[in-house]
Amino acid sequence: MEAVARLNNVPTSPRKMRLVADLVRGKRVGLALSILKFTPNHGAIRLEKLLLSAVANWQAKNPDEKLEEADLYIKTIMVDEGRSLKRLRPAPQGRGHRIRKRSNHVTLVVDAFSGEEVTADVVETNEKAN
């Protein structure tokens, strides 16, 4: 059974957050947490907290199952564009240049791994074996 966690209005551009999200898409939770812990991007800190929140949501939905035996993985992670704050930066000769301070919304879905599903992690291991 899957669990969802959402993070809205993160003050980071969606393009920068997608770079971090692509690192952990389809990975197992333990591996994803270690990747996010040592990634220097600012978005990695927020995604790490979001992943821990998704795992806690999964535990709340499945109180009778053990986390160690569940073999959780990141089923989907989506980074959508949020609202943009529009500001003016002074420019030469009395003009103003528009600055867009972008934000994003992140949705993360965690699910327990079962044998018939194929994730990016499984595909990577099969490619390395061949």
The pTM (predicted TM-score) of the whole model is 0.83
Question: For 69-81, what is each residue's pLDDT tens digit?
Answer: 888 999 999 999 9
DSSP secondary structure string, 26-52? T-BHHHHHHHHHT--SHHHHHHHHHHH
Q: Which domains does the chain have, with CATH numbers?
A: 3-128 (3.90.470.10)
Per-residue tokens: 101: 């301070």
Question: Among candidates 58, 9, 63, which has minimal Cα distance to 29?
Answer: 58
CB neighbours (10 Å) of residue 24? 25
Question: For residues 23 and 20, what is the distance between their CA atoms, to the nearest angstrom?
Answer: 5
Place of tokens 């969606």: 14
The pLDDT of residue 84 is: 95
Question: For 18-51, what is each residue's pLDDT tens digit?
Answer: 999 999 999 999 999 999 999 999 999 999 999 9
Question: For residues 68 and 3, what is the distance between their CA atoms, to the nearest angstrom?
Answer: 16
Q: Which residues are 19's β-sheet partners?
A: none
